Structure 1
Amino acid sequence: MSLIHRTALERARFATSSRLIASLINEGLIRANADSTSIVVIDSFNDNGIEYKLFLSIVHPVPVGNLTSLDPADIVPFHIFDANSKELLCPIEIADHFWKGCTAELKQQLISSVQNQEWIYNHLPTKIPSLSSPPIQWEQYLIEGHPTHPMHRTRIPFDGFESILLAPYIKFISIPRSELVVYGSWESIMKDYLPPALSPDTLILPVHQLQVSKVLSLIPSATLIPNFERQSLAQASVRSIIPVPASDLPGYHLKMALSILTTGACRTISCYSAYNGPRITPLAKFVAPECLIPIGEVASIGSNSPDEMISKHIACIVREDPELLMPNESVIIAQCLVEKTPDGSISLVRAIFHLNTEQKCINFLTRYAELACAAFLPPMIKHGFCFEAHGQNTLARFDRHTGQLIGFAIRDFGGLRIHREQFESTTPFKLDLFPNSCIVTDDIMEVYTKVFHCLIQGHMNRLVRALDLHYSRKGWTIVRKAVEKHVGAASPAGKLWFKETVPYKAFLRMKLDHKYRDYIYGEIPNVLMLTEKNKNF
């Protein structure tokens, strides 16, 4: 049935349930078997020995037998049925029968995801962005969020606040200078944006309007500045904002602590990120190839409390404005390219760039894959430096007039991985980062694994599918060829990247173990093996 004939609630439930089912299969938490090339059966037994079955219709034929991996997009929309052939779209019912160990808290996160996704479906934009649209219009077009995480639209505790989250007011809180630390040129950059300090012994912290009560509760000596606020628009991450008008803070955006749970983490700002951002910026710009522009984090402010559970709520990072770094380009968040038009009929990338034939899609992907690999693989191979190049952090840069892809920009340094020995031996820098920062590793395989997860399993996987080049294997033939220009099969990276199975981030196991900074991986078939020559894989 067409998406337009389905209610927003049905669409939202399927969006969450398809991600949940795929994650359960990929992480080995349930047994799945293809009874035919188009029907997958999932079965589970409860503690009383009662069997439950779930039947899925699959978009493209799969081998009959045990099924160990599935993408949410592989499930025919709404074709999830119980043993009585009744449509079963509710993720809570699915979790009750098939996700052992799922707690009431995790079920609430699934409910939150559905509720917020339903709101978004009920408030879809009336038109799609274009090459002439400002970047914020692309940022706010994201419809389904994370493409594979079951909590893709979770907004706890701010369910129902979607309109505020899109355009929050920025409030200002006076805090004793003795309780804060500043890094970079914070005071000089922010002096015209902030209200005057109440005294020489205080500093002003800009705060997301939904974070005010949290900050005031943690710092008894803090004072909310009355009758002073500024407008903003939120980017895709919710906590990062652009000032409105831009002249309020020319040349910069703000990343703000916000105690909101989305996907796997609370979107606060750690003391590590506040300290490291301004120090990482020159390193990132040094290792970046010509086709990649890192968006610098040039200043920050944070709490000096030794308690991370306090300090993470009290921070703000100043980030460069991509529009000023790339003034004559169309800067588009990569994740938005793979979203669909409001009626769900076609991906945005195909609609915007008029990719109405397979050959046009092939041409687009060929250039995109080559430039993406040229942007993100040399830092990994040469310097042991991993940019977190998933779709939300990556900005695709297009010529505003011709639509030709020029290169990429990358933002957010909180999820980097840097191999200390290789980086310091191949650059003039010594790492001077917050002690015990998780972005520094002595295991080069951690760098290779994260780049693969973000760039290949996430970013490129969604684009290949959005261009309808996945099932034909033509897309992965193109991507693998681009990868092989930088990663040799016999190299340490190649031995990981070209295996038949590769690590895959286990979102649900991480939830069960309460992890978000430390990762848990499973193993799934490698998409880089899905080439036209490798038909038996």
Structure 2
Amino acid sequence: MSAIQDFSEKANFATTSRLLSCLVTESLSRALYFPLTGFEATGFCVLLSGEVSSRPPQSIDVPYKLSDILTIILLKHVPVFKHDGADPRGPEIGLLDPMDMLPLTLEVVQGVHDKANIVSPFRLITGWQLDVHSHTIMPSPDPIVLWDKFAKSYDVQETMIKEIAEELESAVRWQKYSYEHPPRAPLFTSSSVEWEQSIVEGHPTHPVGIDSIPIIVR
């Protein structure tokens, strides 16, 4: 896995990882885990779109389509699973930690592209309809694009889509600034405020504000 090259890319991924963590932890997007062997990643996580996540899991005989996928992300560690997960394709993730994510998010898009990512992992699992001739898996580093895709699939109001997109844009901008101008490391004698202000990255599970979540949920 290549290292993140610059602060802009790093800031995008930091914000994206917290957004995805928020969607999964707040049960807005159903996330499934599939193990991998022989790679740096222990497995990959598939986040489903809002429309699919709002319904009970489909049986294996009723496959998900690639267009039902919000995003795919590789994980360094096995995540925390739900004790009551009911999707027969794989264990459902209850807590998705940004620190467990490798810096690569993938998105399913329509059409065939030269820089496409392979879809071979989906050939190892059942319960998916692989319309690979009309869809392609591509890198998707932009948190605003992922948010817009999720929000429209979850029937979020346009005003809320715009407001949270602006918050995410601000988060990326300030995250980049924090990387470029890191705060001084606190000392054991530093105040609690100094310790709090030394945090470079945002809250791990609520990048858009916890009070926004009840409004999003239908």
**TM-score bracket for the superposition, by shorter chain length:** 0.5 to 0.7
1:121 matches 2:121: no
1:67 matches 2:92: yes
User: 1:71/1:44 Cα in 2 relative to 1: closer, same or farther (>3 Å)?
Assistant: closer
User: 1:133/1:508 Cα in 2 relative to 1: closer, same or farther (>3 Å)?
Assistant: closer
Pairwise CA distance, 1:124: 0.9
User: 1:72/1:10 Cα in 2 relative to 1: closer, same or farther (>3 Å)?
Assistant: farther
Would you say how many aligned residue pairs link Structure 1 and Structure 2?
157
Contact 2:33 2:93 in 1 (8 A): no
1:57 alignment partner, one of 67, 74, 80: 74
Q: Which runs of 5+ in 2 are unaligned?
A: 37-42, 52-64, 82-88, 109-115, 118-137
Residue identity matched to 2:216: L
User: 1:137/1:50 Cα in 2 relative to 1: closer, same or farther (>3 Å)?
Assistant: closer
Residue identity matched to 2:195: W
Pairwise CA distance, 1:57: 0.9
- CA distance in 2 between counterparts of 1:32 and 1:139 reads 31
Please give the per-residue CA displacement for 1:394-442, whole angstroms capped at 9, x wherever unaligned.
Answer: xxxxxxxxxxxxxxxxxxxxxxxxxxxxxxxxxxxxxxxxxxxxxxxxx
- CA distance in 2 between counterparts of 1:17 and 1:74 reads 12
Pairwise CA distance, 1:65: 0.9
- CA distance in 2 between counterparts of 1:95 and 1:23 reads 11
Number of the residue aligned with 2:25: 26
Partner secondary structure for residue 95 of structure 2: coil
- CA distance in 2 between counterparts of 1:52 and 1:10 reads 26
Contact 1:24 1:508 in 2 (8 A): no
- CA distance in 2 between counterparts of 1:135 and 1:509 reads 28
Number of the residue aligned with 1:188: none
Number of the residue aligned with 1:94: 146
- CA distance in 2 between counterparts of 1:72 and 1:20 reads 11
Contact 2:148 2:161 in 1 (8 A): no
Number of the residue aligned with 2:45: 40
Number of the residue aligned with 2:15: 16
Pairwise CA distance, 1:74: 5.0
Contact 1:43 1:51 in 2 (8 A): no
Residue identity matched to 1:33: L
1:110 alignment partner, one of 137, 148, 168: 168
**Highest Rg: 1 or 2?**
1
Pairwise CA distance, 1:511: 4.0
1:82 matches 2:107: yes
Contact 1:10 1:89 in 2 (8 A): yes
Higher relative contact order (CA 8 A, sep 6+): 2
User: 1:508/1:14 Cα in 2 relative to 1: closer, same or farther (>3 Å)?
Assistant: farther
Which residues of 2 match residues 325-364 of structure 1 at below 5 A?
A: none
Contact 1:9 1:118 in 2 (8 A): yes
1:148 matches 2:205: yes
User: 1:108/1:40 Cα in 2 relative to 1: closer, same or farther (>3 Å)?
Assistant: same
Partner secondary structure for residue 27 of structure 2: coil
Pairwise CA distance, 1:70: 2.5
- CA distance in 1 between counterparts of 2:24 and 2:200 reads 25
Please give the per-residue CA displacement for 1:114-169, whole angstroms capped at 9, x wherever unaligned.
Answer: 111111111113x5222244655434312113221122xxxxxxxxxxxxxxxxxx
User: 1:139/1:60 Cα in 2 relative to 1: closer, same or farther (>3 Å)?
Assistant: closer
Please give the per-residue CA displacement for 1:166-195, whole angstroms capped at 9, x wherever unaligned.
Answer: xxxxxxxxxxxxxxxxxxxxxxxxxxxxxx
Which residues of 2 match residues 334-483 of structure 1 at below 5 A?
A: none
Percent identity over the alignment is 28
- CA distance in 1 between counterparts of 2:205 and 2:139 reads 21
Contact 2:31 2:47 in 1 (8 A): yes
User: 1:27/1:11 Cα in 2 relative to 1: closer, same or farther (>3 Å)?
Assistant: same
Q: Which runs of 5+ in 1 are unaligned?
A: 152-262, 265-506, 514-537
- CA distance in 2 between counterparts of 1:82 and 1:16 reads 16
Contact 2:19 2:143 in 1 (8 A): yes
Number of the residue aligned with 1:512: 216
Contact 1:60 1:74 in 2 (8 A): no
Please give the per-residue CA displacement for 1:92-111, whole angstroms capped at 9, x wherever unaligned.
Answer: 11112223215211211111
Contact 1:16 1:110 in 2 (8 A): yes
TM-score if structure 1 supplies the norm length? Answer: 0.26
Partner secondary structure for residue 103 of structure 1: helix
Contact 1:32 1:67 in 2 (8 A): yes
Residue identity matched to 1:42: L
TM-score if structure 2 supplies the norm length? Answer: 0.59
- CA distance in 2 between counterparts of 1:136 and 1:44 reads 39
User: 1:25/1:135 Cα in 2 relative to 1: closer, same or farther (>3 Å)?
Assistant: closer
- CA distance in 1 between counterparts of 2:107 and 2:198 reads 34
Residue identity matched to 2:163: E
Partner secondary structure for residue 106 of structure 2: strand
Number of the residue aligned with 1:229: none
